[in-house]
A and B are shown apart, each in its own frame.
Chain A
Amino acid sequence: MTDVQDSDAALWLAASSGTERAFVTIFDRYRSRIFSAAFRRTNKVSDAEEVVAIVFLEAWKLRKRVRIVDGSLLPWLLAVTANVTSNLSRSQRRYERMIARLPLPPEQEDHTSLVDERLDSLPYRKAIDEALKALSAGDRAVVELCLIEELPLAAAAAALDLPIGTVKSRLHRARKQLQTRLAVAELPDNLFTMNTAEEVA
């Protein structure tokens, strides 16, 4: 059970008041989740690590605009992750000085085979990636939060600071575009027709 003092809201309040330990606690709480989301988009460990650093640096920079959704920072952090990864080069340039201070990635095991395996096990992955890249940044962020991260519509709307109706319409439009683009890939019928509980309701 999360103690009130350990809640995201309490930690964020402490962190944004300059308490390093609170910020580091938030970092440790969500870094794995952010890294996974970043790795899904970059397929490169060192890039995904840099995304994690950038996301938390952005969170610090935008600390007065952070949105806590249902008591959690995660939706907002995932929205920042989506923004950062969709403009990775620009983000890396913006935080170039900070990133340069990170140690070089250690000699890592080659993840290419892992990535290949993932692609093999998800035969539509490449086509989906390309179709996602073809979406506008706004639509893509909605798709990433609602369909890939499986956040509820309301949480995604709050994280993106959009009305829920806008999120629904973007999702609808994105699904149509994805279905059109992926029609040739013979995707399973239900791939982009998953509905969140709210939509069903």
Chain B
Amino acid sequence: MPSQDPKMTEVRTDAIRGLLAETIRDEPEFRRRRIRRRLLIWGGVGLITIGGLSTAGSVLFGDAPLTDQSIVQCFSSTVPNADGTFPGSGATVATKDGPGRVDDALALCSEMWRHGILSSGYDPTAATYAPEETEVPALQVCVMRDGTAAVVPSEDAAICQALGMSALAR
């Protein structure tokens, strides 16, 4: 008569759940793999800086050609923070030259979106990170005043001007 059986106590259920999660987290095989994956992401894609993007002044004024292709700013929103910066991540790319640089910037930010790094729920300080497939929004490539690319989530082709940047010359 299962209905008469007592239930697991909540406090020990939670403790067991935590114990199991910790056991998996501490598994040496996966810890090593996590470190390798992080190194791969950081080494291959470049240094990714999460948090407030301190580009307020340079982003919002004037037009400029895409002259600095060594860094890409991936905005997670077109709504600026209180201090005028845009939320998102800055990323450097591994190679400086070669064709398809703009495509690289777009691909790079698309990859970050896909892995959830630009999603609102992403916690850069979390001990573990399990990449999840996240839908990539429509993205526009703009050129900031300092000549670097900024990839902005918007379907509006005029978003660059609206944000005080140049659209990328094709």
Residues of A within 8 A of B (CB): 15, 17-21, 23-24, 27-28, 31-32, 35-36, 39-40, 45-46, 48-49, 52-53, 56-57, 60, 98, 101-103, 105-106, 108, 111, 114, 117-118, 121
Contact = CB atoms under 8 A, between A and B. Distances in A.
Contacts of B13: 31, 49
A49 B20 contact: no
Interface residues of B, number: 27
Given A20-B128, A21-B130, A24-B21, A103 B12 contact: yes
Interface of B: 1-2, 4-9, 11-13, 15-17, 19-21, 23-25, 27, 29-30, 33-34, 128, 130
A15 B12 contact: no
Q: Tell me the dominant secondary structure on chain B's binding face.
A: helix
Q: Tell me the dominant secondary structure on chain A's binding face.
A: helix
Contact of A18 (B2, B6, B11, B24): B24
Given A18-B30, A32-B8, A101 B15 contact: yes
Contact of B6 (A21, A39, A98): A39
Given A15-B24, A56-B16, A108 B9 contact: yes
Contacts of A98: 19, 23
